[in-house]
Amino acid sequence: MSTHSYPLTGYGPKAQTTWAKLTARDSALWRLDWIMLLAALALSVVGTLLVYSATRSHSDLNQGDPYYFVVRQVIGILVGLALMVGIVWLGHRKLRGAVPILYGISVFLAVLVLTPLGATINGSRAWLNLGGGFTVQPAEFIKITMILGMAMLLAAKVDAGDHAHPDHRTVLHALGVAALPILVIMMMPDLGSAMVLVVIVLGVLLASGASNRWIAGLGLVGVLGSVLVWALGLLDEYQINRFAAFANPALDPSGVGYNTNQARIAIGSGGLTGKGLFEGSQTTGQFVPEQQTDFVFTVAGEELGFIGAGLIIVLLGVVIWRACRIAHESTELYGTIVAAGIVAWFAFQSFENIGMTLGIMPVAGLPLPFVSYGGTAMFAVWIGIGLLQSIRTQRPVAA
């Protein structure tokens, strides 16, 4: 008598065999990092509720429909999940051959932003206008393709067994891959995305095993470059105002310091347990600008309190922790570098977004991963999850 049990009672042998393959201990479904996946899903669900709270009474934004932003957020999440499944099914190794093409497309789209097709939002010309009210932010896709492009170059000779670590020429080529999109992003100017890209470069180089002299040299170049940008007046006025408000929160509280002051009031008024979901007076009164995107964490602080806001930070920490494990356990340098780049991206962007609402970081216009409203940003973070899951599922099974 067979010892196998088939839960698909009433289905044919082919369906039962497919089910058995999917549920086998060495299948991709079984080997997914479910802890990370569930944490990311929980963040997206909480984010959707916060976006609804921030926009339901915002008639000048939601076109009279309280569910306007929620419907689009849910669609963004579903598309993101579909992209994640596609990445896992295809596999990061097969995707490796298409990286040059994907990198070229993402940079080309970023360049188009500098043409009349680009759209300016909140002082930053970072969006590509597709018509019909649809916009795309190419910088989000550049985060992914730059990670993949640098990883492909840095890992090629190491994974082939030719070198123990990337040599200096390889590192120079990888830095060239990073320099072009960073330059384009700075020309928009999108300072927040440029900051993320720089952190990604450092994370990728650290994970690749490149000489520490490169890290030190890049740090020095970064400091000198920042001083030069400031001295030459290359920053736009709104960016200078943001840094001024960060350095002195009391500066012009009704102007440049308004966002951060109102954000602190909203978070501080929530106390330990919050005022209750959809009950925040700062949120309902629309005192905090861009609350569904850059300042969505203020909704959590006011309505869910310290406990609810802390839970969001814990869930983000879980995603980053599991990504670190995937990077550590990868059996190939390519997978390690890709995972490390995603860790740097998620970690810095989360810290910057939450930090600017608390006043410990300058306002940089970065969304909170998985939580903030935004289609392109949502697609990008779920593609990142797909790459991480692919690296995990394609590693050799332990005997």
Listing DSSP states for 265-330 in one string gives HHHHHTTTT-S-TT--HHHHTT-STTTTTTTHHHHHHHHTHHHHHHHHHHHHHHHHHHHHHHHHH-
In a domain, 4, yes or no: no
- Order of all β-strands in the sheet with 134-136: 118-121, 124-131, 134-136
Burial class (CB in 10 A: 0-12, 13-18, 19+), 232: exposed
Asked whether residue 212 is domain-assigned, the answer is yes
pLDDT score for 398: 46
- pLDDT class for 12, splitting at 50, 70, 90? low
What SS3 class is residue 130?
A: strand
pLDDT digits (tens, 9 = 90+) for 174-222: 999 999 999 999 888 788 898 999 999 999 999 998 888 888 888 787 7
- The reply to whether 358 falls in a domain is yes
Give the Cα-Cα-Cα angle 89, 386, 392 (nearest 5 degrees).
80
In a domain, residue 19? The reply is no
Q: Tell me the average pLDDT across 296-320.
A: 95
pLDDT bracket for residue 242 (50, 70, 90): low
What would the DSSP string read from start to end of 145-197?
HHHHHHHHHHHHHHHTTS-SS--HHHHHHHHHHHHHHHHHHHHTT-HHHHHHH
Residue 113 has pLDDT above 50, yes or no: yes
pLDDT confidence tier of residue 250, bands split at 50, 70 and 90: low
In a domain, 172, yes or no: yes
In degrees and rounded to multiples of 5, residue 26 shows phi and psi of -100, 15
Asked if the structure places residue 399 within a domain, the reply is no
Give the per-residue pLDDT at 383: 97
Q: What is the pLDDT of residues 48-75, one digit of tens each?
A: 999 999 998 877 777 778 899 999 999 9
What is the number of structural domains in the chain? Answer: 1
Residues 339-351, mean pLDDT to the nearest whole number: 96
Mean pLDDT of 372-394: 93
**Structure confidence at residue 240 (pLDDT):** 62
Q: What is the enclosing helix (H) or strand (E) of 262?
A: helix 258-269
Which pLDDT does position 397 carry in this prediction? Answer: 47
pTM for the full model?
0.87
- Give the pLDDT mean for 21-40: 77
User: Which pLDDT score, from 0 to 100, does residue 93 have?
Assistant: 85
- Per-residue pLDDT, 294: 87
- pLDDT at 3 > cutoff 70: no
Classify strands 118-121 and 134-136 as parallel, antiparallel or unpaired: unpaired
Mean pLDDT of 95-111: 92
Give the list of residues 6+ apart from residue 183 with CB closer than 8 angstroms, or none.
none
Are the CB atoms for 342 and 358 separated by under 8 Å?
A: no
134 has a pLDDT exceeding 90: no
Q: Which domain does 107 fall in, by range?
A: 32-393
Residue at 375 is within a domain: yes
- For residues 248 and 250, give the distance between their C-alpha atoms in angstroms, rounded to a whole number: 5
Tell me the two tokens of residue 65. 């429909």
How much is the mean pLDDT over the chain?
Answer: 84
Q: 316 near 41, Cβ under 8 Å?
A: no
Instruction: Please report where in the chains the tokens 């067994």 appear, as a residue.
Output: 161
Task: Supply the pLDDT for residue 256.
Answer: 57
Mean predicted confidence (pLDDT) in 239-268: 68
Residue 366 belongs to a domain: yes
Q: Which of 30-39, 134-143, 215-224 has the lowest mean pLDDT?
A: 215-224
